[in-house]
Structure formats: structure tokens, C-alpha cells
Amino acid sequence: MSSGNPPSPRVSVPLQLFSVVIPARDEEESLPSTIADIHATFAREGIPHEIVVVDDGSRDGTWRVLQELKNKIPSLAPTQNPGPHGFGRAIIWGLNHMAGDACVIMMADASDSPADAVAYWRILHEGYDCAFGSRFVKGGRVVDYPRVKLLVNRLANFLVRLGFRHGLNDTTNAFKAYRRTVIDGCRPLIAPHFNLTVELPLKAIVRGFSFKVVPISWQNRKYGEAKLKIKEMGSRYFFICAYVWLEKYFSRGDYRRR
């Protein structure tokens, strides 16, 4: 469903474990249902998995809730990022501590569908390096998306697509899946905040990893407050995009997958 002629999937070793990496800051209300739904869906589909929830400096009962859930859900692997904190830093911490040979990044607030994560797993099993979703293609769906956030999202994604010509119209969404080889091939990861959501997929594309795009759904959180502050992120997104853009056009392929 994507344009830009991405690399074709390669023959690869079958995957053994799917790591779900979830950054969490002050998410004590959201986590019980989010984790239970992911575990139930993956267990039903027979997907070997672990759920790596990163407590990123929470001031509420997030860590206590995770310890209680661990007694009920054996695949849960909670960990604490000692700091410095930040959305991107929490994800990197989770990626550094995961045991799987593939991973999917999901939100603690249940905005991402576990059924879509199952689709990602199957795409990776087809031999693709990355599974990308879009909420804004035929079959995609958003529920209760704040109007201002939606307008900013579509503008930002249009500009990213214009600059990279990669055929992906939902680059900024964190909900994507990667083989471990992609994560290692995109290091060093330098974005400390929400701009990691564009650093990872853009580096993966620029460095020649294969990907497939499928429609996904998104729904607004039921509990707590959104952590993304749009007015704080503009320059950070620009920095990361410029950083990867320079690699794309001026590195002469030094970092591309061989």
C-alpha cells in the first residue's frame, strides 16, 4: 500500500519472541486494561510475547500497579528508567532491555489496537523488516481525535512525506513494529522526546530496510492527560527530520543496510 518502491522482504530466520515496548508516565489508571487486552489478544493468537512497560519517572501508583499486574500476567516485564526521563528515552530504555527478536511500540493509554499489533507480527513473519500502520488510508480509523492535533498531524506528515518521498503518510505515529536487526541498524538513537517517533521509521527507510504499510485504528485515551505538548515539539521534530534528511542525501549510503 506504500509507494516509493521500498525494498522487498528478504528470506530471514523465523521470529521467536515479540516484545511490546510501552513507555508509561503516570498511567496507573490506563495500564490494567491496556496490558490485559494485549496479553489476551496475543495469547489467543498464539504469539510468543513479552510486555516491557517502562515506568518513566511516574509520580502516581504506576509502579505499584505494574507489580500487581505482574502477579497475574507472567509475560509482563516491567522496568524503571532511572533517568533522565522523556518519551524517547523511555522507549530506548525499553528497546535496550527487551528480549525479543522483534518489537512493537504501543501506548499505555490503549489508543493502539492489539489486533493491529497482531497484523504487524504477521507482516514481520512474511520477511519484512518493518511493519508500519497508517490511520489515514482506506480502512484506517480514528476515534475522538482532537481537531487541532489532527490538523497539526496532517501538516507535519505532509511535510515529512514531501521531504523524504517515502510514501508513508503517518510517520509521526509511534505505533510501529520492527525486527531487532532494524533497531540495531538504526543506532545510535538520539531523540529524547516524542521526536523518536519519526527518527526510528525515517532511519529505517533511509537505511534500506524493507517495510509494509497497513491501515490501523486509533482511539483517544479514557484516563489521564496526553503527554505530547505540540508547542514544545516543533523544533525537535524539525531537528530530527533535518538530521535524517542530511543522511539520506549526503551520507553517500554509508549507513545503508548491506
Between CA 169 and CA 95 the distance in angstroms is 25
SS3 assignment, position 216: coil
Give the CATH number, domain containing residue 96: 3.90.550.10
Does pLDDT of 85 surpass 70?
Answer: yes
pLDDT at 99: 98
pLDDT at 1: 40
The pLDDT of 146-160, averaged and rounded, is 86
Backbone angles phi, psi at 241, to 5 degrees: -60, -40
pLDDT at 5: 60
Between CA 189 and CA 178 the distance in angstroms is 14
Between CA 32 and CA 205 the distance in angstroms is 34
* pLDDT tens, residue by residue, 8-27: 787 667 899 999 999 999 99
Tell me the pLDDT band of 252, cut-offs 50, 70 and 90. Answer: confident
Determine, yes or no, domain membership for 95. Answer: yes
Determine, yes or no, domain membership for 10. Answer: no
SS3 assignment, position 116: helix
- 124 sits in the region (left: phi over 0; alpha: psi -120 to 50; else beta) called alpha
pLDDT at 125: 94
Determine, yes or no, domain membership for 2. Answer: no
Name the domain count of the chain: 1
Mean of per-residue pLDDT scores for the chain: 92
SS3 assignment, position 76: strand
Does pLDDT of 225 surpass 90?
Answer: no
SS3 assignment, position 217: strand
Determine, yes or no, domain membership for 185. Answer: yes
Determine, yes or no, domain membership for 3. Answer: no
pTM: 0.92
Tell me the pLDDT band of 239, cut-offs 50, 70 and 90. Answer: very high
Tell me the pLDDT band of 167, cut-offs 50, 70 and 90. Answer: confident
The torsion defined by the Cα of 27, 30, 35 and 36, in degrees rounded to 10, comes to: 150
Q: How far apart are the first and last CA of the chain?
A: 25
Between CA 64 and CA 68 the distance in angstroms is 6
Its domain, for residue 213, covers: 18-250
Between CA 235 and CA 230 the distance in angstroms is 10
Does pLDDT of 242 surpass 90?
Answer: yes
Q: Percent of the chain at pLDDT above 90?
A: 79
Cell of 47: 504469539
* pLDDT tens, residue by residue, 49-59: 999 999 999 99
Tell me the pLDDT band of 153, cut-offs 50, 70 and 90. Answer: confident
